């Protein structure tokens, strides 16, 4: 069975880090397009793909975002060339007839059940946000995923029509290695995993 190189595993997981500060090297549109072209292939329930991505890069948009994040996260957003708002489309199910054509009625259970739609959108947009992180690392970008922001304020500033709702943020760029803390430990297999 073909396997990726050890270097690839390091780049995506083992030596990849969460960066609190980035260099000023820009992230061009072409890289953001490549990023989405990769992450969109990750699996979601019913191929629902509820995540929506807002790439915040312009100075004006950065100022709007900085006003929404906790004080400890302002410098992280400021230093990142791009911050991705990973959001969810509250009416993702309207696309299901195209996204899951073998079941033209796949959206019906969500249309009549807002709680089910919200739970499905949150779970699957979170998955897609994780795919974004993996794809970004595969493309040579560093990431700084974070919470620590006012969801309602972000939604008002970036998604005023209410259809998209923010989930979490991911700063993207080329990390400044001098900003890193010592790496935290990870739980061992025996503490994190059960096999039955």
The answer to whether the beta carbons of residues 163 and 91 sit under 8 Å apart is yes
CATH superfamily of 6-175: NADH Oxidase (3.40.109.10)
Would you tell me the crossing angle of helices 151-158 and 59-66 to the nearest 10 degrees?
150
**What is the residue-averaged pLDDT of the chain?**
96
For the segment 84-122, what is each residue's pLDDT rounded down to a tens digit? 999 999 999 999 999 999 998 999 999 989 999 999 999
Q: Which helix (H) or strand (E) holds 189?
A: helix 189-192
pLDDT of residue 2: 67
Domain parsing of the chain, residue ranges: 6-175
For the segment 175-191, what is each residue's pLDDT rounded down to a tens digit? 999 999 999 999 999 99
Q: Kindly state the percentage of the chain with pLDDT values over 90.
A: 97
The answer to whether the beta carbons of residues 86 and 125 sit under 8 Å apart is yes
């Amino acid at each position: 069975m073909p396997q990726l190189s050890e270097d690839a595993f390091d780049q995506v997981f083992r030596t990849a880090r969460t960066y609190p500060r980035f260099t000023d090297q820009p992230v061009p549109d072409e890289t953001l397009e490549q990023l989405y072209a990769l992450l969109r292939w990750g699996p979601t329930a019913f191929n629902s793909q509820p995540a929506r991505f807002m790439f915040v890069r312009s100075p004006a948009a950065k100022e709007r975002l900085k006003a929404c994040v906790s004080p400890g996260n302002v410098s992280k957003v400021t230093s990142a060339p791009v911050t991705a708002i990973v959001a969810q489309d509250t009416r993702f199910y309207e696309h299901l007839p195209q996204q899951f054509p073998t079941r033209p009625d796949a959206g019906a259970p969500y249309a009549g059940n807002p709680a089910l739609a919200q739970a499905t959108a949150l779970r699957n947009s979170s998955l897609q946000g994780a795919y974004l992180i993996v794809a970004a690392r595969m493309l040579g970008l560093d990431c700084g995923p974070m919470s620590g922001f006012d969801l309602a304020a972000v939604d008002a500033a970036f998604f005023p029509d209410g259809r998209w709702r923010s989930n979490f943020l991911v700063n993207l760029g080329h990390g400044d290695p001098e900003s890193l803390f010592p790496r935290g430990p990870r739980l061992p297999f025996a503490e994190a995993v059960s096999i039955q």
